[in-house]
Amino acid sequence: MARCLALLGMISTHVIDPVGAGGDITWHQELAGGRSSALFAMLAGLSLALVTGRETPFRGRAMKAARAGIAVRALLIGLLGLWLGGLDTGIAVILVYYAVLFVLALPFLGLSWRTLAFLALAWAATTPVANHVIRPVMPETDHAVPNFVSLVEPVELLTSVLFTGYYPTFCWLAYALAGLAIGRLPLRRVRVAVMLTVTGAFVAALSWGVSWILLHPLGGLDHLADTPSADLRGRSLDLALQMGIYGTTPTDTWWWLAVFSPHTGTPFDLLFTTGNAMVVIGLCLLVGKWWPRLVGVVFAVGGMTLTFYSLHLVALHLAWGPERGTPALFWWHAAAILVLGAVLRLATGRGPLEAAVSTASREVSNAVRAPSRPAP
């Protein structure tokens, strides 16, 4: 259910204009901008916890096998992301970054939920500061979407994916760590769902409140307005802070780290969106406990996000459906994937891309898990 909501939110930001006729941010951008992709990334970490032992992490050969399978999964998702990045969609395809998150999370799979929660908080608080310091000495990104042509310049590609791109995984690992921590909890218990919801709301409110104090009473917004970077690709500062920036903030003043706007990669952005994602996951756990069969069919596309995210991008490339930029296109995409997802769930139980990736991952895991035979 949570994955389905994340996918629908991402689709809405892809196909509906974020600014309305009056120059104000539209409701869908306010609701989904930045939150959906963060939820998607957190669910990646949660999924890794579920396939590596849930509450009790695997040990020894079992964990080694799981890591090998996850690495294969990351490779295949990354290759698919490179192909989709070459299509004419106008979308910052997340899959290459998503695949790298899987790889970065591998060393943390054996940790307890308490350790992971501490690391997620520390990572969200410190890595944006480190990224702010090191980015000025890096080549400036052109915000190109990773594709197979990008492999010609591997250093630039790696720099973009880790530090300067739309979803800088160096900082975004905080989402995966938070998701891993959640996945190590006893998620079947109602009190855990309630705890996630309440804690997430507190984290989101606290990060928003501290950011607001820094920007308004303490004058951070005035400092930002006086910087040369305040004109962000022709957008006014106010509009840019509402819509979000392109994965990272400018580095000409430390005050940029005080904003919590979507896709800014600041501590407040990471913590605010993490809190929002915790609320969504907690509520989905509660709803799923009350109406599991209904959720399993209505939100079935959430178990097939790789297939339907890819199909959504192909449909944009081929210009299927109503005019782009209108709500009609969103509803066309949403209806199509919900119906097709329910049909696939009832017919086969999984999407074709999920089946292919899972099969390859499982084969590698089984090969690593199998005991080695002594030489004759």
CA atoms lying within 13 Å on the CB side of residue 260: 26
| Residue tagged 């915000």 (tokens) | 143
Whether 375 has a pLDDT exceeding 60, the answer reads: no
- Is 117 within a domain? yes
Contact 17, 325 (CB under 8 A): yes
- Is 371 within a domain? no
- Is 348 within a domain? yes
- Is 240 within a domain? no
Q: Give the model confidence (pLDDT) of 245-284 as tens digits.
A: 889 999 999 999 999 999 999 999 999 999 999 999 999 9
Number of domains in the chain: 1
- Is 244 within a domain? no
- Is 232 within a domain? no
Q: Tokens representing 374?
A: 């002594």
Angle between helix 169-183 and helix 267-290 axes, rounded to 10 deg: 30
Whether 376 has a pLDDT exceeding 60, the answer reads: no
Which domain does 121 fall in, by range? 2-205+263-366
Secondary element (H or E) of residue 40: helix 35-50
More confident residue, 371 or 96: 96
From 82, 45, 174, select the one nearest 120 (Cα to Cα). Answer: 174
- Is 131 within a domain? yes
Secondary element (H or E) of residue 249: none
Q: Give the model confidence (pLDDT) of 176-223 as tens digits.
A: 999 999 999 999 999 999 999 999 999 999 999 999 999 999 999 999
Q: Give the model confidence (pLDDT) of 18-42 as tens digits.
A: 888 777 788 888 899 999 999 999 9
Rounded CA separation 29/13 (Å): 6
Q: What is the pLDDT of residue 140?
A: 76
Secondary element (H or E) of residue 158: helix 154-159
- Residues shown for the chain: 376
Q: Give the model confidence (pLDDT) of 99-112 as tens digits.
A: 999 999 999 999 99
How confident is residue 374, by pLDDT bands cut at 50, 70 and 90?
Answer: low
- Is 248 within a domain? no
